[in-house]
Amino acid sequence: MIDKSIVEKVTNSFAVNAAATAVGVFGATITPLAAFIPFLVKSLGSSRHAKRLERMILELEAILEQQSEQIKNLTDDQYKVVNEAISAAFYTINEDKLEFLKRAILNSINNSDLVASASDLLSRIIRDISADEARFVVHSASYRSIAVMDIPEPIEGVLFLKRGSVEETILSGLINLGLVYLQTSRAGMIDYEWSPLVPKLIALLKEV
């Protein structure tokens, strides 16, 4: 079960040994590289990343203090997502990604149905998705499908991406994450559709 003491342990460890404390808090399966390299562990305490991470944890702590009853009753699925999101923060240098992780933690605590029976997949996605990919999903999921072609054509409900564009690269990342499926492929155009997990992911990433 996650409680305030876990957040406190992580927060209070920054000046001395942030990554090593993460191992102690989250278990041997979550082992930031810095935990094995003393130089990186010592450097972490004064880095900009550590300060961003500490700020995020302090914000979480302030909010979670008001939700102690909900935290006491976390389901296994909620715990899985929260645990993975917090551990992912230690690997994250992008401030926007840290914000998405914070949202995922708070939204999963507030609504157990969001992660019920899907925590393994969602926690993996939250851990690996980039901030740019997350933004693309949030802003584009209203389209029923995505099409990649050399010369985009306007069709209602279809998001067209130009072949070789930055957006196509982002789409490739989403395919690898299992958030987009190949629907059809024909001369000059490839159609994709969203995974059924996308609505849950968007709900996890929405601003609290």
Cα 52 from Cα 32, distance rounded (Å): 17
- At residue 22, the 3 state secondary structure works out as helix
**Total domain count for the chain?**
2
Q: 117: alpha, beta or left, given left = phi > 0 and alpha = psi -120 to 50?
A: left
164/64 same-domain check: no
Cα 162 from Cα 145, distance rounded (Å): 14
Check residue 16 and give its pLDDT. 32
Check residue 169 and give its pLDDT. 96
50/123 same-domain check: yes
Domain end point (choices 128, 158, 175): 128
Domain end point (choices 103, 128, 153): 128
118/28 same-domain check: yes
Range of the domain at 177: 134-203
The parts of the chain modelled with pLDDT lower than 50 are 1-41, 46
Check residue 204 and give its pLDDT. 96
27/117 same-domain check: yes
Strand ranges in the chain using DSSP code E only, listed in sequence order: 145-149, 158-162, 180-186, 189-194
**What is this structure's pTM?**
0.75
176/198 same-domain check: yes
Nearest to 46 by CA among 21, 17, 85, 24: 17
